[in-house]
Amino acid sequence: MKRIPILLLVCMWAFLPTPAGADDGGWLDWLYHLDMKLVGIGTEFHLLCVDKADRAGRCEDLYGIVRGRRKIPFDEIKHRIDFRVAFYWKYGERFSDVIDRRSVKGFKLMGMYYYHFSPAFQLGGGAGYMPFFGDGFDLFSRGIVTPISIVWSPFQDNQFWKRLFFRVEESYIMQGFSGVNFGNSATNFAKTGVWNPSFAIGFRVRQ
């Protein structure tokens, strides 16, 4: 039954008519391997794009705020630099070995680079940091490196559905975690560094 609200949230997010913050639109993301499960929403601000002729330009209008250089159509982008902003929250138990239902929240702030093989497929990576906060523990943060990020938009033949995309990533969260970081000394949970796979589904509105 816990999966039903999450699936409903996926559907709502995919059909949002306006983006969460940038012309890229919004996405819903799952993070794994932290013991607890985190789910979140986010967006990416496109800072710089380079077209197939290696000419730099702006990626988006950002609702009329960004002016100046030529805007590069999405289908012509070859290189892209983004700033990612995401917000996450815990669902279920904090740990697998003790009962602890208190909240855990976090942000992901990252610089990302993507190479556009085609409008349907992009490959990239990036780095940044994640601040964590919640009930019973002080704010702390961890560095994060994402060596691989794969974005796939499978429905290029449809003018509307080509905006839907799926993203799979593998990231490394530095320093690791322990129960003490999250205000719980009873759990045996402890990791010195965390390889963190994630899956996201989103919808572009700038395309």
Q: Which pLDDT score, from 0 to 100, does residue 110 have?
A: 96
The band of 20, judged by pLDDT with boundaries at 50, 70 and 90, is very low
Residue-range domain boundaries for the chain: 3-203
Residue 75: left if φ>0, alpha if ψ -120 to 50, beta else—which one? alpha
Assigned architecture for domain 3-203: Beta Barrel (2.40)
pLDDT at 33 exceeding the cut of 50: yes
Q: Average pLDDT of 108-117?
A: 97
Q: What is the pTM of this model?
A: 0.80
What 8-state DSSP symbol labels residue 68? S
The yes-or-no verdict on residue 139 having pLDDT over 50 is: yes
